[in-house]
Chains A and B, each alone.
Chain A
Amino acid sequence: MSELVETAAPLVAPPSGLMRAFKSIGLLRESWVGMVGAAMVLFWVLVALLAPLIAPYDPLANYQSFVKPGGVDAKGNYFLMGTDQIGRDILSRVIYGTQRVLIYAPLATMSAYVVGIIMGLLAAYRGGWWDTILTRVADIILSFPPLVLYIVIITQVGQSAFVIVAAIVLASGPGIFRIVRGLVLDIKTREYVAAAETRGESNFYIMFVEILPNARGPLIVDFCIRLGFVTITIGILAFLGLGLPPPDPDWGKMVNEGRALALAFPHMTLFPCIAISSFVLGLNLLADGLREVALRD
């Protein structure tokens, strides 16, 4: 009977987990949309990391006010993006503002994901009362306009980084919960889940080893898009004056500060706006690319 061995298609040496991750990133090269997105995101990540090296001035130092982009002040300092009403260099502020966005947006999104995934797994896998209660809670939160939710929470609880992150988790957690719940409802009917149940695995093991890893595809794509949303949300909150506390530079706050003078000095709002949109666009393109590559095989 040994000749009945089904010979396998010849394959390269078994790839380890890390190798596989790199390989899937390599697949992204197939999608130029994804590559453009990845390049834009990578650009901002590098800017954030290298901020102290590449920023020409101290973002908090005051020079001459209202220097136009490409203009020079009385002392001969050159300002590529000009200065704002109290004479701070906009380029340096945009560069340092990147750090804030790239810390708080991923932090808030990740936290929302942790909450959403746990809720979704519990509701869909355990079912019954878990499902009823968690779904109702999610529905109640989703029934509020998100902006109202943010304003109420931040004005009532206080304007701190922690509260802002918590508010974002509260507002976007239910959306993630719904996606996870939908995915898990499908995956939990798979035979490998039944196989795990019949060997007496714990609920925890089944949820996090058998189910969650197999839901990762759509979740990674959603994560990219949601990270863009959260970036915009943080910008909007700062624009409304509910953002992270001063004095650190912040893209949204820069737009807000320049708003009143936007007609006379458009550069004060223009550059932070470009920064926000290019980062969000990069994330969305990256998500599109990931989806495209994921669908192809």
Chain B
Amino acid sequence: MTIDYDDVVLEIEGLCLSYYIRAGEVPAVVDFDLKLHRGESIGLVGESGCGKSTVANGIMRYMGANGAITGGSIKFNGRDMAEMSEEEVRQLRGNEIAMIYQEPMAALNPSLTIATQMIEVAVYHDDATEEEARARSLQVLADVHIPDPERLLASYPHQISGGQQQRVVIAMALLSNPSLLLLDEPTTALDVTVEAGIVELIGELSEKYGTSLLYISHNLGLMLEVCDRIAVMYSGDVVEEGHIDSIFSWPKHPYTHGLFGCIPLPHADKNARPLVAIKGQLPLPYERPDGCNFGPRCDFYEEGSCDKMQAMEEVHTDEDDAHRVRCHRWNGIDHTAAIPKGPSHAAATIGETVLEVDNMQKYYEIRDNSLKAVIAGDNVRYVKANEQISFKAGKGETVAIVGESGCGKSTFAKVLMGLETATGGAVRLNGDDIGGRHVQSRTPKLLSSLQMVFQNPNDTLNPSVSVGNQIARVVKRFGVESEPAQIREHVLKLLDTVKLPRDFYNRMPRQLSGGQKQRIGIARAFAGKPATVIADEPISALDVSVAAAVTELLMDIQREYETTLLFISHDLAAVRYLSDRVVVMYLGGIMERGTTNEVFAPPYHPYTEALLSAVPIADPQVEKRRILLEGNLPSPLDPPKGCPFSTRCPRRIGAICDDEIPPVQFASDRHAIACHIPMEELREVEPVIKLHEEHIPPEVLGGDQPTPVGGDD
């Protein structure tokens, strides 16, 4: 369905939303405007804390006990929602406006079957009889591509996978055929290959049902795949809004520009074109500056004009191509001249092998003590978390371990750290086999040479101990320094290294932002001058601009200390950006390994190919081949007999895939692929990602754009 520009579904004008907390009123959203046409999908993008979800809740008139709509109007299908009674709004929710949240498991009641929950929706909103409701549920479930709807209706939420749960939630939202669907980070909790399926589905459904979408996400790449228009939010209001192509090709607001500079797009490179983080951090709602909220963080801040309130200005006005920006100087900034460029570095030289993993294997034993199992003699089963893991990492090298959840990458990290011991093979660090040594039997020297940066910034620091003391403990334990004064001095130096002010020494972790906590985590890991650092998804919980800063910091320290970095991630964009070599894991085994360039170009393992296709890329210049994976990850308790990927492989060649473990084929001396398909055939596969010819990154395109109207400075 095409967009009907005469039919406005949702019109928001000057919306102000506030929360009331102990400290007083917190204006979460200030003067928010939005117009959504029938069949249109608008993306609302911004970092956490900028008010995206509050807008969605405000539209639902669901602000909670301490929230309130303090100004402006929301018109839904021409009717002002403020004039509706509570009962009318309730009828509207679910019937006309449906919302899909991030966590599908939390949206479904775990103690009721899917059938009960779906039928209830239809019966309540449409006065349908139970048979009608059931028939309609089956039909909608088929629409969201659930393979066996009848069986699914009889299941409980925990019996189906996360991707299927989210499909069910979407199906429930579609049951009463709403005219507006609010999606609040609907795929953030899902794996990339599952996410790709859901994104495809959402696009398809809005075509089919003619539903208007308001898609909230922090992921610009996803926006490009789903939305027609996009609104960039910063600190409670929209700073730039326009057609998706217009914004991605000619972003006008310095903040939007900054965001693109933070994303590891295919043309970014850690040595020649490093990421540029936006300086500073998001102001708290009650500490917003005068005038432009982005002012203090903006490279183009100009006293006298940027410290006054600024209305949205039209960049160009065509109805289907409107592009508005809230910046005083948008027309005066020459983004071409001022490409903010991080310092470039010489490529690191990779030294002798530091870490060697040789056929490492980790099985978890599961004992079934039932009488039946004991008599049958199969009371011990194994979860094959890691199988035949082999690779090498040199001094100063970054090796990425990529895979979706459940692929065994975290188990591998635990074995390296000694929190678990390997059940087979060897892990050699500087020649010593450490795979079988538990952390308690490791020498302090070994412990200090192998440290870890953790994933969750809120979990990585002990909340009861001050930041300085936490780092000092490491310095002391690893014997770097022993005198209290010297320990303190060393900790302060480490704070300098991670670019935090020295007075953070006495801060408690809760006084720090997520990015700052992660910096402390990095300082702690590097305190003992480790030879190898394992970073387990260190940036996945951070906002893009913070993630960029932390990534750069990690790279800088690594260069300085010549550390071997094992970067565990599911984020292929980040992996491509910062790693020298890549190991792709699936279901406990290595599918493909090689240098980054080798892995990201044909020949691919079919799984790598699917992964690459699933990653959203925030660049309209990139053309992607779509590959959607069917089915779910098999249980590691009962993996396929042959190739682990055979159950979902789009390039399966026959029974051999199911029955025989695939041979490891070498495309070059360090590029290995475990697949039955002959190497010649794999080499002929077309690349998944194609950059347009003469590809130029968007910020270079500054001057080449339609003539702007309005704005004369």
Contact = CB atoms under 8 A, between A and B. Distances in A.
A269 B552 CA distance: 74
Contacts of B474: 199
Nearest to A203: B440
Nearest to B418: A198
Given A1-B552, A14-B503, A198 B277 contact: no
B452 A198 contact: yes
A213 B515 CA distance: 24
Interface string B284-299: 1001000000000000
B419 interface: yes
Range class of the A interface residue count: 20 to 34
A5 to B, nearest CB: 5
B419 A5 contact: no
B367 interface: no
Contact of A9 (B277, B284, B505): B284
B259 to A, nearest CB: 15
Given A14-B506, A195-B460, A198-B419, A1 B556 contact: yes
B332 interface: no
A9 B501 CA distance: 12
A213 B461 CA distance: 13
Contacts of A196: 462
Contact of A6 (B343, B450, B513, B552): B513
B439 A198 contact: yes
Contacts of B553: 4
Contacts of B511: 8-9, 11
B455 interface: yes
B439 A197 contact: yes
Interface string B425-468: 00000000000000110101001101110111001111111100
B549 A6 contact: yes
A1 B549 CA distance: 9
Contacts of A6: 280-281, 499-500, 513, 515-516, 519, 546, 549
B460 A191 contact: yes
A11 B528 CA distance: 30
A181 to B, nearest CB: 19
A199 B442 CA distance: 10
A2 to B, nearest CB: 7
A214 B444 contact: no
A192 B462 contact: yes
B462 A214 contact: yes
A192 B280 contact: no
A136 interface: no
Interface in A161-214: 190-192, 194-201, 209-210, 213-214
The A interface is mostly helix, strand or loop, or mixed, namely helix
A75 interface: no
Contacts of B452: 194-195, 198
Interface string A1-28: 1111111110100100000100000000
A52 to B, nearest CB: 40
B341 interface: no
B25 to A, nearest CB: 16
B442 A200 contact: yes
B512 interface: yes
A192 B507 CA distance: 17
B454 A194 contact: yes
B444 A200 contact: yes
A248 interface: no
Given A14-B506, A296-B22, A7 B459 contact: no
Nearest to A297: B22
Given A1-B556, A2-B499, A6-B280, A198 B417 contact: yes
A214 B556 CA distance: 33
B62 interface: no
A198 B516 contact: no
Interface in A220-266: none
B500 A5 contact: yes
A150 to B, nearest CB: 36
B454 A8 contact: no
Nearest to A210: B462
B463 A8 contact: no
Contacts of B454: 191, 194-195
Contacts of B507: 8, 11, 14
Interface string B543-565: 00010010011001000000000
A20 B511 CA distance: 13
Contacts of A20: 508
A191 B465 contact: no
B440 A200 contact: yes
Contact of B459 (A3, A191, A200): A191
Contacts of B463: 214
B504 interface: yes
A30 interface: yes
A11 to B, nearest CB: 6
A192 B447 contact: no
20 contacts: A1-B343, A1-B556, A5-B500, A6-B519, A8-B504, A8-B513, A8-B516, A9-B287, A11-B507, A20-B508, A191-B455, A194-B454, A195-B452, A195-B521, A197-B419, A198-B418, A199-B528, A201-B477, A214-B464, A216-B464
Interface of A: 1-9, 11, 14, 20, 30, 190-192, 194-201, 209-210, 213-214, 216, 296-297
CB-based closest 10 A-B pairs: A14-B506, A213-B464, A191-B454, A191-B459, A192-B462, A200-B447, A191-B460, A198-B417, A5-B499, A3-B279
